[in-house]
Structure 1
């Protein structure tokens, strides 16, 4: 029986109580809702006037032309042509995506506004919203042979440099670290959501970056004590922050599942250049490769991503199919071909970056891994967890020392690899040694926040100071008091000269009469050069008198320090 409207066999047949006619259900319902009457007889109808008919499954008969061999051949040819068209379209689509990704990598980083309506998604642009859910599979370009060659060349160059590496003579001595005390405290984040969760230091400019629970990141100039810029954009706490070498780029990771790349603008403020949304859970760590062209993010979604810095493209998103783990920490080996990751399941994993293969796995911790740090010598790995800190020998893949500090939140080698800092309920500094030798404690710094939890620790240039973040929103600087006092005296000496218009910069550094410890102080020497840079050639006569005044003032300050410590002065100045 056929539908009274379409004349075809209905898929869902219904019959009218009033007319007895057969209809296709969707057709008659639409007509009744529009006109309220039967399309054949014109009688008034409602939806209640139609009744569904139960029928057996109807098998649609084959078309007559398929009953012959020529007809079958024609059907096969039509199907084959359709398949070839689909294959060609897919190939053209993939080629277009590849060309687009290569073009994006060659273009300079565009402002975030230019990509406000689309998110970079590893070789293609995925529209924001429902079309690309967090669990949708995304195309990954993979780490190309060109990138692998670049990583390998960087590894070879750094390995050669490491063989010639020596401890810098300006490195702070153990005696100096033993005298470290709090010099300053800087409230950088908001009071309603206090807490510094992450930190990094740009040694070349002595700038400290902090990531807060208040969703902001702050760039702080330690020398001047001023905030340079506040980075706003994340919607949840900033879990990790990193400078990208000596460039003007900063990376931040957040609990809002995103990673942001920030760049300095002409006015000195920082703006977000890329917002990366490749993770589906909280991003816990970012770490920058030694080339400063690539970086890795680690997330609680059981993946880590390898990114191209300039374009913000995710070249590879790696997960371990053998076991499900949530990544809580990550760090590149100094040579750049090894990646260390910590997990919420107490496991430390070592990866080969070129093949993205898990080449080693360390167990033994209890609780979540909170921090990982490689020594500059490339031999040691330090890992922090809720049960303390463990040291691993990467040559033998064994744990050779354990420090039992409950709730260890951060572990960090200084740039020379001479000292190890641990942040827990207080801050401990150890002198590094060999596998068999003792790692002696050098200094214990108290947690002055009152929260009982130091969250992060970093060494300044040449370990001249230690920066500590905690849960009370304050950045604290620990250093030897003598260095800072001497630097302050030099600043006082240069203030009158800053008012004089600069005519010519003095090229030769004359004898300044500094004591040995002042000469070794990078900040003091730098300030001395700045003072002399403001001195015009016609003011040479004032230099000697000013120098004598400064020396007397420094000597008086040194005498006061010696009297407080019970020491005896070795020299007097009239």
Structure 2
């Protein structure tokens, strides 16, 4: 019996009761389901018309070509041909893979040669640049010596090249001796606010001190003799004075052409401001008191070629330092309105702060590194690395042992005696950058600004004491603690000065 469709002996035969033809069950059922007809007669045919046949299945029927020796030889010959064709294809694939590998190795070798040549050219260019710098430096020194011999060079330029005058060094050393001695004897006053007092602070006042069109308070400082007199540095290019006791604006200091990044009182009779217009201005009191206003006594623009981003005044009030985005900081004499020394660093500066004793300066850079400078020799004596973003603010504790630094990745506290980071605070893990940080005068509290304003307690193992959400949507940009930590001044991304304290 042979299947009428395949012509082979069926393994599961069925017969059509209409036509008598034998089929392989799987073939005829598929054909009937698709057409409904008999494949031989093309007559109507249904699955019910197919009857199974009983066959002896002990020996599976051989295929027709395998029923004789010539047929078997033909099958073996076909298998041999197929095997040879497969081996030929594999050999061709191996040859192609070898060619591709050889080409890839050649490209790799060529790329290595090109990289080596570029690195050699880079090193040669660096060497040439260093040589040019040395040549220019030698020419500059020669011209400087020639100018000194002819008496044509300005004293300020000679001072910047030679270093801080010995008289200024002596002044800072005397101030350091007096301040450090007094600090050892100073005890924390009983009038300092307790953590419970700080936790009870509320918003006492909100004062619009700058232009609403160019909002933003970038710096806050208080008068050394009258803490009710506040100076704020604004994005509207002015320094605004405000009397907290009378809640009134005092005459503004106008003259900068771009935003004022920092403003500090330099003693009772002067204010120093630094601006994005690359200049520093010294303002002197026009009368006996701050309410009489200040006038611009000097515009200093000979040192910095970039934005002046920070101003910090020496504790002795006779000198101040400015830091700039041109990767330099400068040491100035307040009375002489003269730059005594300019020091170039490795990266644009973003913050600067004097140590309470006055012989150490800390700077923060756009490279996330905090550098500590010894002022007598203007040498970088320590570097603190750990932040992953530019440093935005610095603050020394009043006892002189700790330095707090702020960046977008949080707050780090450094031990100046061991030169290491001993505490890291992450106030805004859910989002938001730390923009400002400030110790109070007692050193017991650390204020932090970012999406909100908050205070941490040093005696509480730097635990959070209080956080305030009553700040502008643009966040906090400047902080200043009042005497005995009884008030906290907060400047934000808008034009408003906020005062937090104990409700009357």
TM-score (norm 2): 0.67
Superimposed CA distance per residue, residues 130-162 of structure 1 (whole angstroms, 9 cap, x where no aligned partner): xxxxxxxx9645212222111111111111111
Q: Deviations over 1:273-328 (max 9, x none)?
A: 111111000010010001111110000101000111111111110013xxx21111
Aligned 8 A contact 1:180 1:478 in 2: yes
**CA-CA distance at 1:202 after TM superposition:** 2.0
SS at match of 1:481: coil
Cα distance in structure 1, aligned partners of 2:314 and 2:462: 28
Whole-angstrom distance in 2 between the partners of 1:303 and 1:224: 40
Q: Which residue of 1 aligns with 2:206?
A: 185
Equivalent in 290, 300, 306 of residue 331 of structure 2: 306
Q: Which of 311, 314, 326 does residue 286 from structure 1 map onto?
A: 311
Describe the SS at the equivalent of 2:292: coil
Deviations 1:179-208 (A, max 9, x none): 101011000111111111111122531211
Q: Residue 407 in 1 paired to residue 449 in 2? A: no
Residue among 243, 246, 260 paired with 1:224: 246
- Within 5 Å, which residues of 2 pair with 1:249-260? 249-260=270-281
Taking the aligned partners of 2:284 and 2:464, their CA distance within structure 1 comes to 39
Q: 1:89/1:384 Cα in 2 relative to 1: closer, same or farther (>3 Å)?
A: closer
1:236 corresponds to 2:262: no
After superposition, residues 157-172 of structure 1 pair within 5 angstroms as: 157-172=178-193
Task: Confirm or deny that 1:444 pairs with 2:467.
Answer: yes
* RMSD of aligned alpha carbons: 1.9
Are the aligned partners of 2:147 and 2:153 in contact in 1 as well (CA < 8 Å)? Answer: no
Change in Cα spacing, 1:223 to 1:316, as seen in structure 2 (3 Å) is same
Structure 2 counterpart SS, 1:204: coil
**By how many angstroms is 1:91 displaced?**
4.4
Match of 2:32 in 1: none
Identify the residue that residue 467 of structure 1 maps to in structure 2.
489
The secondary structure found in structure 2 opposite 1:146 is helix
Secondary structure, in 3 states, of the residue corresponding to 1:153?
helix
Partners of 1:157 and 1:263 lie apart in 2 by 26
SS for the counterpart of 2:170 is helix
**Aligned position for 1:362:** 384
Distance 2:271 2:264 in 1: 6
Match of 2:347 in 1: 325
1:420 aligns with 2:446: yes
What is the match of residue 93 of structure 1? 150
Instruction: Tell me the residue number matched to 1:10.
Output: none
1:268 aligns with 2:325: no
Task: Check whether the contact 2:203–2:470 (CA below 8 A) recurs between aligned residues.
Answer: no
DSSP-derived class of the 2:172 partner: helix
Is this contact kept in 2: 1:329–1:370, CA < 8 A?
yes
Counterpart Cα distance in 2 of 1:88 and 1:409: 45
Displacement after TM superposition at 1:97 (Å):
4.9
Greater per-residue strand proportion: 2
**TM-superposition CA deviations, 1:353-408 (whole Å, max 9, x none):** 11111000011101110000000001000000111110000000000111113411
Distance 2:498 2:182 in 1: 34
Q: Which residue of 1 aligns with 2:68?
A: none
CA distance in 2, matches of 1:373, 1:317: 22
CA distance in 2, matches of 1:286, 1:88: 32
Q: Is 1:198–1:241's contact at 8 Å kept on the other side of the alignment?
A: yes
Q: Which runs of 5+ in 2 are unaligned?
A: 1-142
**C-alpha separation in 2, matches of 1:340 and 1:258:** 21
Query: What secondary structure does 1:234 align onto?
Result: coil
Contact kept? 1:249, 1:263, Cα under 8 Å: yes
Task: Report which stretch shifted further, 454-463 or 440-449.
Answer: 440-449
On the 8 A contact 2:144/2:153 being kept in 1, the answer is no
Q: Is the 8 A contact 1:348 1:369 kept in 2?
A: yes
204-213 or 138-147, which deviates more? 138-147
- SS at 2:335's partner residue? coil
SS in 1 for 2:180: helix
Q: Conserved in 1, the CA contact under 8 Å of 2:160 and 2:339?
A: no
Contact 1:414 1:420 in 2 (8 A): yes
Contact 2:453 2:471 in 1 (8 A): no
Q: Map Cα deviations across residues 483-542 of structure 1 (whole Å, 9 max, x no partner).
A: xxxxxxxxxxxxxxxxxxxxxxxxxxxxxxxxxxxxxxxxxxxxxxxxxxxxxxxxxxxx
Q: Distance in 2 between matches of 1:391 and 1:319?
A: 26
Q: Hey, which bits of structure 1, 4+ residues long, moved more than 6 A?
A: 86-89
**Does the CA contact (< 8 Å) of 1:239 and 1:283 recur in 2?**
yes
Aligned match for 1:194, one of 211, 215, 218: 215
With the length of structure 1 as denominator, give the TM-score of the two structures.
0.59
Q: Residue by residue, what CA displacement relative to the aligned partner does 1:222-270 show, whole Å, maximum 9, x if unpaired?
A: 000011120110111110111113x121111111101111011138121
